[in-house]
Structure 1
C-alpha cells in the first residue's frame, strides 16, 4: 500500500518538481504535451477575436432598381447611367423664315455655240470632258466676251471657275502682239485659300494646253518665297494668288509689276472678306490702279453681304449682273451701279446645291460626345463608302477627339493597316 501511494504522488507532481533535479526524469508523454501547449499559448489580450458567424437570413438585402414587372425572372436589375438622367429640357430654337432659292445648274447649250477658238473647244471636250455649259457659264461667258465688267452670284460648285477661265483664255490667246513670258502678268486672279489657288491653277493650266506661250503661275502661303520670286523674275502671264501672299510680294519683290494687266478677277469674294483680307484686297487694288487703269474686272461670290457689295462698288465699273438665284436673267443694260449694289444686303434667300441635305440635332452638353460617337459609328456601318468631316472650334478639341475616337470606336480604314481618323488643324506642319 505504501508503494502505491508513492507512485501516485509522483505522477501528479508539478513540473517544477523536476526542474533542476538531474536524477529524476519527467514521463515522455506528459512532457511533450505540455511543451506543445506552451508553444501555442498567447496572452489573452493579443488573441484575435473569433468572427461572428452571420446567417444568410440576417444579411441585409441588396437594393434593386426597377419593378418586378419590368425585370425578367432570375435576372439582376440594370442600373442606368446618370449620363442619361436629369438632363435639362431642350430649348426652342428661334428659326427665321428663310426662302431657299433653287438654281438650275445645267443647261443644254454647248461650248461650240459661243464662237470660241477650235483648240479651246477641243480642250474643253477632250481634256476637261465638258461639252455642255452650266447655267452660270451660259450667262457669264458671253457677257465677259463682250468686254464688260461683271458681278456673278451663284452657288458653290456651279462652275464659276470655267465661267471666267474660258473667256480669259479666249481673250489672251487672241492678243494681236503675241504674249511673251517676260511681259509679266496679263491677268490677276485672287482666291481666298491655297487649296482653291491650286484648284484654279490646275483648271487654267488645262485650258492653256494648246496655247503654250501663255504661262500660268500661283502664289500662296506655305511655299518658299525664294522660289516664288524666281518664277516672278522668269515671268507669269496669268497670276493666281491668295491676298496675303500677293501683298507680301508687292512690298518685298522688285519684279512684281502690273503694267500689262488686262483682267482682274476676285473669286469667292465673300470668303475672302470672311477670312479678314479686306485690307489686303484694298492694297492690291491700289497697286493695280496705280499701274494700269484700263482692264476688265470680274467679281464672283456665292452669297451677298455688305462687304461684297462695298467691294463691288469700288472695283467694278458699269458691271453686268449675273444672278441665277433671282430672275435667271442677265441685265445687259449699262448702269452706273449694278443691281446688286443698289440693293441692301439681301439675306432673305440663299441658293443651295440641290442634293445637299441639312439636319440639326440639339442635345444636352454631356450627351454631345456620345451622340457624335453613335452617329459616326452608325454612318460607318450603314454606308458602303463612308466619308465624313467633323469640325471643332479649336485645335485642342481636334486633338482630344482624334485621340479618343481612334482608341474607342472599332473603325478602320479601307485597309486594316490604315487609320480611319485623321486630324487637320492650324498647329500642324504645312506638309
Structure 2
C-alpha cells in the first residue's frame, strides 16, 4: 500500500484535516475489550455445485411457454434457460393434465420463482381466446406480496414481460399513493393485479369497480413473510371474498385456455406451522414444486431453507467500541477492490435511526447525489479513500415514493463507481438487486430465517457472492452454531484486527484507527444535529437488539450489552447516564433503557423494521 493511500485511509475525506482533533482526548478504542472465544476456521475445501443455476440444455420452449415470450426474455432479459424451480413450476402450471391444479412452490430466495408463476399466467392469457383479451375483459390474476418494495419489483418485471403483449394490463395497488389514483386505474380495467394485503382489502371493501368474479389465478408470494407480519386476517378475507364472488363458469366458453377454476399458487422459502396452515386453507389437492438444491431438515421452520452453496459466509468478531471503525475499514476495502465493473454492497442495520446516523456520517462532507427521482437526503456521492462511491439509505420511515426511488436507483445503477446501500430489513425480502457482490450484516438479523433472506441478496442465479456478519465477542459467537446447518458452503470466522491491519498497515493500525474515531467524536461534539442523530441511533439500536426471536435470546441478550462500549460505536463519549442528564434529550439510564428494550421485544413484527 503506497503512502498516499495510507494517509487517505485515516479519514473519510479531504476536508477532514480541517477538523480540530483534541490531542488531549484518548479514544481508548483498544482498552478493556473482551476477547474472542473462537479460533479462525479455514474455508471448506469441498467444491460445491452452485445453486439456482439455469439448467444446461433446457429451454422454455420445451416447457410450453409462449414463443413470443421466449424470444422476448432471451433478447430483452438475456435469459435463455430456466432454473430448476422454474422448470418444475412451469411443468405443472402449463401441462395439460395439471394446469388446473393448485401449486405450492418452495424455493430459496434468488431461485427465480417470480418468473415461475408469471410466465404461465402470461402464456395462458396470450393463447388466442374466443373473446380477445383486453383491459375490459376482466381481472384474471392477483399476486399478493408482503411489502410495497416487492410489489414494485414484481410489477416492473411484469411490465418488462408484457412489452411483447401490450393488450394485457397489469397494475399495482399497494398504498403509498392516493387511493383515488388506484381507483381510477381499476375503473379503467386491469387484467393482473399486484397488491399488498391491506390495500387490497381496502379496495375490496370500498371500490365498487373492482370485480374479482373472473379471477383465475391467486398467487401468495413470500407466504412465510405474510404470516410473520400478521396478514393472516387479511388473507382470510381476500380468499373468502374471491370464493363468494366467483363466477368463472359464465366465461369458460369465452376464455377456453384459462383455468375453469381459481388456481392458487403459494410461494414460500420455509415451511413453518403458519405456512402449513395457510396452505391447508388456500390449496386444494395441490402439487408441489421444490428446488432440487434444497435440503430438508427435522425442523419444519427451516425445512428446505439454506443459503446458496456458492456463498462465502464470514463471521467477523468485533468489540462494540470498534464496530464503526471496522465497518468503515471494510467499506474502504470494498471500494479499493473496484475494477470498473458494476460493484454493489448492501449493509443491513437493525434500526432506522441507526441507518440515518451511519448514512449521515459517511456522507457528512459529500456532494449530494444528483438525481431527479430521489431526494438528496437519501443518496450521496462520497470518497472512500481515493475511490469515489455512491451511497444510498433505505428504511421503513422514509416516504414510499422515496423508498421506491432509492430502490430503483440502486438496482439500476450502472455508474463507474462502487454502489453501497445502507438499509434495514425493508430491503431483505424477495427484492432482486443485480450485481450485489457483498452483503454486510452490521447488526445480526432477528432470526436465522431473516439472515437467509439478507444474504440472499447476493450469490443469486448461480453467481458467487460474499456475506460478512458482525458479531460481538462472547455469547454472540455461538450464533455460528445456529448458522452452520443452513450454510452448505461452510462458515469462515475472522477477527477485526486482521481487517484493520490490512487497511491501515501492520505497524500503525491502532493509531490510525484511533485518529479516525477521534475525528468522528469531535464532529459529533461540535455539531448539535449530529449529536442528536447519534443519540437517537444509539437508542433505536438497543431497542432493536431486544427483538431477537426467543430461541436466540440467550445469544443476543440485551442485558449483556455494555452500553458504554455500544455508545462509542456511535461516536458518543458520554456514558449513557450522562446522556440522560442533558436537557431535552433521551433518558436512557440503564434500567429505564432495558425496560424500553423489553417492551420492544414484545411488540409484534411490522411490515418494516422502523425502530
Q: Distance in 1 between matches of 2:33 and 2:266?
A: 49
> CA offset at residue 299 of structure 1?
0.9
Q: Distance in 2 between matches of 1:396 and 1:131?
A: 43
Q: Distance in 2 between matches of 1:284 and 1:419?
A: 45
Paired residue for 1:402, among 347, 355, 359?
359
CA contact (8 A) 1:180 1:213 kept: yes
Paired residue for 1:304, among 241, 248, 271?
271
Report the counterpart of residue 360 of structure 1 in structure 2.
315
Q: Distance in 2 between matches of 1:326 and 1:394?
A: 33
Q: Distance in 1 between matches of 2:388 and 2:232?
A: 42
SS in structure 2 at match of 1:110: coil
SS in structure 1 at match of 2:353: helix
- The TM-score, its normalising length taken from structure 2, stands at 0.50
Paired residue for 2:306, among 348, 351, 356?
351
Report the counterpart of residue 67 of structure 2 in structure 1.
118
Distance 1:404 1:245, change over 3 A: same
Q: Distance in 1 between matches of 2:334 and 2:307?
A: 23
Distance 1:372 1:127, change over 3 A: closer
SS in structure 2 at match of 1:132: coil
SS in structure 1 at match of 2:344: coil
Q: Distance in 2 between matches of 1:408 and 1:373?
A: 15
Comparing both chains, which one has the higher relative contact order based on Cα–Cα distances under 8 Å and sequence gaps of 6 or more?
2
Alignment of 1:81-100 (within 5 A): 82-90=28-36
Distance 1:182 1:420, change over 3 A: closer
SS in structure 2 at match of 1:254: coil
SS in structure 2 at match of 1:358: strand
Q: Distance in 2 between matches of 1:153 and 1:348?
A: 10
Q: Distance in 2 between matches of 1:239 and 1:396?
A: 34
Report the counterpart of residue 55 of structure 1 in structure 2.
none
Q: Does structure 1 residue 144 correspond to structure 2 residue 93?
A: yes
Report the counterpart of residue 41 of structure 1 in structure 2.
none
Larger radius of gyration: 1
Alignment of 1:34-113 (within 5 A): 82-90=28-36, 103=51, 105-107=53-55, 108-113=57-62
Report the counterpart of residue 430 of structure 2 in structure 1.
none
Alignment of 1:246-395 (within 5 A): 246-292=200-246, 294-325=261-292, 345-347=300-302, 350-384=305-339, 386-395=343-352
- The TM-score, its normalising length taken from structure 1, stands at 0.69
CA contact (8 A) 1:106 1:134 kept: yes
- Can you list the C-alpha shifts for 1:404-424, whole angstroms capped at 9, x where unaligned? 233489x8259x998744332
CA contact (8 A) 1:258 1:292 kept: yes
Report the counterpart of residue 217 of structure 1 in structure 2.
171
CA contact (8 A) 1:219 1:240 kept: yes
> CA offset at residue 319 of structure 1?
0.7
> CA offset at residue 226 of structure 1?
0.7
Paired residue for 1:170, among 111, 123, 126?
123
Q: Distance in 2 between matches of 1:348 and 1:205?
A: 33
Distance 1:401 1:116, change over 3 A: closer
> CA offset at residue 139 of structure 1?
1.1
> CA offset at residue 237 of structure 1?
0.7
Aligned Cα RMSD in Å?
Answer: 3.2
Q: Distance in 1 between matches of 2:123 and 2:235?
A: 26
Q: Distance in 2 between matches of 1:213 and 1:134?
A: 28
Q: Distance in 2 between matches of 1:395 and 1:389?
A: 15
Distance 1:92 1:292, change over 3 A: farther
Q: Does structure 1 residue 425 correspond to structure 2 residue 406?
A: no
Q: Distance in 2 between matches of 1:344 and 1:363?
A: 31
Q: Distance in 2 between matches of 1:104 and 1:393?
A: 28
Q: Distance in 2 between matches of 1:115 and 1:278?
A: 35
> Which range moves more in the overlay, 385-394 or 190-199?
385-394
Report the counterpart of residue 147 of structure 2 in structure 1.
193
Q: Distance in 2 between matches of 1:420 and 1:140?
A: 38
Distance 1:279 1:413, change over 3 A: farther
Distance 1:404 1:118, change over 3 A: closer
Q: Distance in 1 between matches of 2:74 and 2:209?
A: 37
- Can you list the C-alpha shifts for 1:84-111, whole angstroms capped at 9, x where unaligned? 1222234569xxxxxx997453212111
> CA offset at residue 373 of structure 1?
2.2
CA contact (8 A) 1:259 1:291 kept: yes
> CA offset at residue 317 of structure 1?
0.6
> CA offset at residue 254 of structure 1?
1.4
- Can you list the C-alpha shifts for 1:145-176, whole angstroms capped at 9, x where unaligned? 23221111112122111111111112123343
> CA offset at residue 383 of structure 1?
3.5
Count matched residues: 333
> CA offset at residue 117 of structure 1?
3.3
Report the counterpart of residue 31 of structure 1 in structure 2.
none
CA contact (8 A) 1:111 1:133 kept: yes
Q: Distance in 1 between matches of 2:219 and 2:334?
A: 40
Report the counterpart of residue 206 of structure 1 in structure 2.
160
CA contact (8 A) 2:52 2:293 kept: no
> CA offset at residue 234 of structure 1?
0.7
> Which range moves more in the overlay, 169-178 or 222-231?
169-178
Distance 1:254 1:375, change over 3 A: same
Report the counterpart of residue 382 of structure 2 in structure 1.
412
CA contact (8 A) 1:184 1:260 kept: yes
- Can you list the C-alpha shifts for 1:348-391, whole angstroms capped at 9, x where unaligned? 65232343222212322222222222222232223436532222
Distance 1:325 1:307, change over 3 A: farther
Q: Distance in 1 between matches of 2:289 and 2:364?
A: 50
Q: Distance in 2 between matches of 1:150 and 1:325?
A: 16
